[in-house]
Chain A
Amino acid sequence: MYKILIIEDEKLLSEMYEEKFSQSGFSVMVANSAEEGFESLKEYKPDLILLDILLPQENGIQFLKRAKDISGVSKIPVVVFSNYDDPETKKKASDLGARDYLIKTNFTPSEIVEKIKDFLKKLDTSR
């Protein structure tokens, strides 16, 4: 069973994704801010982090920057999923190690689940 951490401030969406991922057999933890995310990561060690970009206080990019310096966290793959569609931000995220940058609105929750499943499976086989 895969463990994921969803960092998403929008309640409506975080609940939806939590539900979909749970239904699809994931162990899900939701954080409403970058800070909450780091808090959770102290005990919870997910296989993957789904990260929103536009977050209150620290945004997704700042999260990625901070995460790099935390041992145990830096190795966790991060997939950005955001409606914020800006080439510069995309590039920054990719430079900071984000594995993918998905535009939320372009995918249904099940499509996202499928993408993450595929990604994790690939990751498993390559290990």
Chain B
Amino acid sequence: MVNPFLFEALKCYNYLKKSCFSDTSIFMDIKYTILIVALLNFIIGLSVLFRNRKSDINLSFALASFDLGLWATSMFFYVKPFIFDSEVWIKIVYLFVIGLIVTWTYFFKIFLEIKDKRFPTLISIVAFFFIFILIGTDYWVKGVITKPWGPETILGPAYALFGVYTLIVMMWITFAWIKKVSQSKGIKKMQLVYLFVGAFLYSILTVIFDVIIPLVTGDSRFFWISVYFSLFFVVASAYAIIRYRLMDIRFVAGKTFVYLLSIISILIFSFFLMFLNNKLLVPISINIFAPIATVIGILLFQPVFQFFEQIASKYFYYTFYSYRTVLTDLGRRLTQFLDLDRLSSLIVNTLTSTMKLDRTVILLREAGNGNYRIQNNVGFREENGISLVKDNFLTAWLEKNQAPLVYEELSLIIRDSSSQEERERLERIKGNMKKIEAALCLPLFIENKISGMIVLGNKISGDPYSQQDIALLNTLANQSSVALQNAKLYDQVHDLSENLQERVDIQTKELKQAYEELKVLDRAKSEFISLASHQLRTPLTAIRGYVSMILEGSYGKLSKSASKPLNNVLGSAERLIRIVNDLLNISKIELGKMELNKAPARVDELITTCYEEMKSTAEKKGLEIIWQKPKSRLPEIEVDKLKIGQVISNLIDNAIKYTQKGKIEIKAEKADSVILVSIKDTGEGLTRDEIRMVFEGFTRGAAGIAYWIEGAGLGLYIAKKYIDLHNGKIWVESEGKGKGSAFYVELAIK
């Protein structure tokens, strides 16, 4: 990359070389650059003015730089006369020099906040005296003679007087400056330093070229060069006025030093090459030599620059780089911890000790409510640390700007803010920052959202935060926010796992408790059932027992008329007993207490037993009952004989009960891996709803009871439960009311 400075330097070199070693016409051309300087002065003056037209500082600065621009312009016409001759132009030049003294005085009066108006007023009055001498007499400018390189002015005694006048003004400014600088700190101090550096460079170089060189060599041909040096002052001052955040002066000085040394080295080297060229028998023509030297210069610049840069970073701006190293180092160390407390104290301590701060605090934002919480604090009063961020505007502002907020810059930001509301809010933040003595709010971002902030106090030295400081702090903030976020997440996961364990423990305990309660309830239910069974059955046993004994004649012969109602009593008691039995069975099933007493049995044998028992009942009713035994013996299967027997007798009993005429057919057969029992009747049959509901108990609540087939009891519900316990199937088929029904039971062979 071709450095523009280098390019300019080489151009200058060529002009200089040509003006020194060859013809003088080029010497005139270079003077056109004076117009560029003049233009730059105008532009800078205007831009500062338009930055803030209401500010006295900006206005006075603009006046001073316009004056400088006009001075440079007239200087150009002095060396290259136009319309008027040089004698008129030199008077105009000095007119603007007088103007310069006045505008500078006012600029410094305002900038250094000097209240006393007497001195500037006096200076202005005296200025009119000098203007009179300059224009009206020849005590200042005696005349202009033309030398080969241009015009030269013959000065009178008034010029010496003007020199004294200028010296007084400069001394006044210097003393005021020293006084001000000792009272200031922060950005103001930095501005003053810039102003001083600019003014010093301008003054010293002007003195060298306009006073020392002419005096020593008796040659004032370089008089006009001092115009260029005005830029030092104008640029430095404008920078100090406009920028919120100034570059560390050491850094600027270091960089300038590096550039100057690099350019000078290249120039020396080029002169050396030229010297060697001249020593050759046949020297290379300047037209060929100059481009070669330029290329060599360009190629050499980068390594030379780097070389000086290294030296400078080692010695010149050493302090700056040393804490940069510390902070970079911190960035690396941030990744070593996952503990939030250790991490935050590392950040706070490193910042405080390296940048020599009076206080530092890390505030972290709670995930839920967005409130800030003090994570680590050195030097801030706790309650004040939080008051700063109670105002949500700060968070919003930082999120919007994605940049740190510097207290020193706040007045400038407020000045430049267009919204009245924003200005008020910022004023409040400024007040808060002042109250807690905070100098800088460094936001910590996670995905553009503020996760916290580091609030820094002032540097103990009173130095402001420089642009480099803030760039470093920004980098550090990025690293810190990631590290802090990781630590926070780690903490949360850690807490969560602890929390989880705690909750699991609590829930286990609760479950245990619930289980215990259930066990108690279960026991209570069982006890209730046993109690109920006992309470209901005991009187029923007595009724049934006594009535049966009366009927058997245990208490003497019974008259025929008495035996019939007593038989009814017995029947009713038995029916009641069956209902109680059913209820008890159901509760047992629902409590899971029903157990199967499985043993190998042949279903056809179980059917035969039931058939034998119930045949007479059916026949008494005039029904045909057919038990169609299987052709081959059925295989033995594992069943609870009692329960399967109960199911079959229940089905046969129902068939008899609901069939008024016709027949009942019982079948059992082996089909594949199941035994299928069917009991068909020619009885009442079932509606579709009844088919759906017939195996339902009262588990379905009121609706179930509503469909409870009158007199069927809970037999079918229990039958289904028993068959379910055997992993079998039970179902009913019927073509409708009055069309008979067929019950099927299917039991697996293995």
Q: Do A and B bind each other?
A: yes
Chain A residues within CB distance 8 Å of chain B:
10, 12-13, 16-17, 19-20, 23, 54, 83-88, 103-106, 108-110
Closest A residue to B546 by CB, please name it. Answer: A16
Q: Which residues of A contact B538 (CB under 8 A)?
A: 10, 12-13, 83, 104
Q: Using A85-B584, A87-B588 as known contacts, say yes or no to A105 and B537 having CB atoms under 8 A apart.
A: yes
Q: Is the CB of B577 within 8 A of A16?
A: no
| Docked-complex contact A84 and B533, CB < 8 angstroms | yes
Cβ-Cβ contact count across A and B, 8 Å cutoff: 64
Task: Report if B545 contacts A (CB, 8 A).
Answer: yes
Q: Contact: B542 with A13, CB < 8 Å?
A: yes
Distance A54 CA – B406 CA, assembled complex (angstroms): 91
Nearest CB of chain A from residue B584's CB, rounded to whole Å: 6
B541 near A13 with CB under 8 A, answer: yes
B533–A85 CB distance below 8 A = yes
- CB nearest neighbor in A for B531: A54
C-alpha spacing A106/B585, complex, angstroms: 14
With A12-B542, A13-B542, A20-B554: A87-B548 Cβ-Cβ less than 8 Å: no
Complex: chain B residue closest to A20, CB-CB? B549
In the assembled complex, how far is the CB of residue B558 from the closest CB belonging to chain A, in whole angstroms?
15
Contact A109–B545 (Cβ < 8 Å): yes
A16 to B534, CA, bound (A): 17
In contact, B544 and A19 (Cβ under 8 angstroms): no
With A10-B538, A16-B542, A19-B549 known, 14 other A-B pairs at CB within 8 A are A16-B546, A20-B554, A54-B534, A83-B533, A84-B530, A87-B593, A104-B537, A104-B538, A105-B537, A105-B540, A105-B541, A105-B580, A108-B545, A109-B549
Contact yes or no, A83 B541, CB < 8 A: yes
| Nearest CB of chain A from residue B275's CB, rounded to whole Å | 122
CB–CB A104/B541 < 8 A: yes
B545 touches A84 (CB 8 A): no
Contact of B554 among A19, A85, A105, A106 (CB under 8 A): A19
User: Is B552 an interface position by the 8 A CB rule?
Assistant: yes
Give the chain B neighbours of A105 by CB distance below 8 A. Answer: 537, 540-541, 544, 577, 580-581
Bound-state CA distance A88–B523 (Å) is: 13
CA distance A23 to B554 in the complex (A): 8
Instruction: Check B534 against A84 for contact (C-beta < 8 Å).
Output: yes
Q: Give chain A residues whose Cβ lies under 8 Å from the Cβ of B581.
A: 105-106
Summarize B's interface: helix, strand, loop or mixed.
helix
The answer to whether B594 has its CB under 8 Å from any CB of chain A is yes
Given the complex of chains A and B, what is the CA–CA distance between A118 and B161 in angstroms?
158
Q: How far is the CA of A3 from the CA of B669 in the complex (A)?
A: 49
Specify the chain B residue showing the minimal Cβ separation from A23. Answer: B554
Interface residue? B526 (CB, 8 A) = yes
Q: How far is the CB of B725 from chain A (nearest CB, A)?
A: 13
- Decide if B544 touches A86 in the complex (CB within 8 Å): no
- A16 in contact with B549 (CB, 8 Å): yes
Q: For B593, what are the chain A residues with a Cβ–Cβ distance below 8 Å?
A: 86-88
Q: How far is the CB of A15 from chain B (nearest CB, A)?
A: 9
A23 to B584: give the CA distance in the assembly, Å. 33
In the assembled complex, the Cα of A48 lies from the Cα of B79 at a distance in Å of: 152
Q: How far is the CA of A12 from the CA of B546 in the complex (A)?
A: 10
A108 close to B554 (CB less than 8 A): no
Does B383 count as interface, using CB distance less than 8 angstroms?
no
Q: Chain A contacts of B549 at CB under 8 A?
A: 16, 19-20, 108-110
By the criterion of a CB under 8 Å from any partner CB, how many residues of chain B are at the interface?
Answer: 25
Report chain B residues within 8 Å CB of A13.
538, 541-542, 545
Which chain A positions have C-beta within 8 A of B544?
Answer: 105, 108
CA distance A30 to B100 in the complex (A): 141
Q: In the docked arrangement, what's the CA distance between A110 and B584, Å?
A: 25
* Interface pairs A-B: 7 shortest CB-CB: A83-B537, A108-B548, A105-B537, A104-B541, A105-B541, A109-B545, A12-B542
Within 8 A of A (CB), among B580-595: 580-581, 584, 588, 593-595
Name which residue of chain A comes closest to B526, CB basis. A86
Say yes or no: B533 contacts A16, CB within 8 Å: no
A16 to B581, CA, bound (A): 22
Residues of chain B within 8 A of A109, CB atoms compared? 545, 548-549
Q: B540-569 interface mask toward A, CB cutoff 8 Å, 1 = contact, 0 = none?
A: 111011101100101000000000000000
| CB-defined contacts of A10 to chain B, threshold 8 Å | 538, 542
- Chain A residues, Cβ within 8 Å of B548: 108-110
- Distance from B4 Cβ to chain A, minimum over Cβ atoms (Å): 103
The contact sample of 21 A-B pairs, CB cut-off 8 A, is A12-B539, A12-B542, A19-B549, A20-B549, A54-B534, A83-B534, A83-B538, A84-B530, A85-B530, A85-B584, A86-B530, A86-B593, A87-B594, A87-B595, A88-B593, A105-B537, A105-B541, A105-B544, A105-B577, A108-B548, A110-B552
CA A82 – CA B371 in complex, angstroms? 74
Least CB distance from A79 to B in Å reads 16
A19 CA / B546 CA spacing, docked (Å): 10
Chain B 448-481 near chain A by CB (<8 Å), digits 1 or 0: 0000000000000000000000000000000000
How far, in Å, is B484 (CB) from chain A's closest CB? 64
Output the least CB separation between B523 and chain A (Å): 12
Give bound CA distance, A103 to B577, whole Å: 11
Inter-chain contacts of B588 with A (CB < 8 A): 87
Smallest Cβ distance from B545 to chain A, in angstroms? 5
In the assembled complex, the Cα of A110 lies from the Cα of B548 at a distance in Å of 8
Query: Closest CB-CB distance, A55 to chain B, in whole Å?
Result: 11
Give the complex CA separation of A97 and B439 in angstroms.
Answer: 95
Measured in the bound complex, the distance between the Cα atoms of B706 and A61 in whole Å is 42
Chain B residues contacting A86 (CB-CB under 8 Å) are 526, 530, 593
Residue of A nearest to B577 (CB): A105
List of B residues within 8 angstroms of A23 by Cβ: 554
Contacts of B546 in A (CB 8 A): 16
Complex Cα gap A105–B595 (Å): 21
Separation of A83 and B541 alpha carbons in the complex (Å): 9
Report Cα–Cα, A23/B556, bound state, in Å: 12
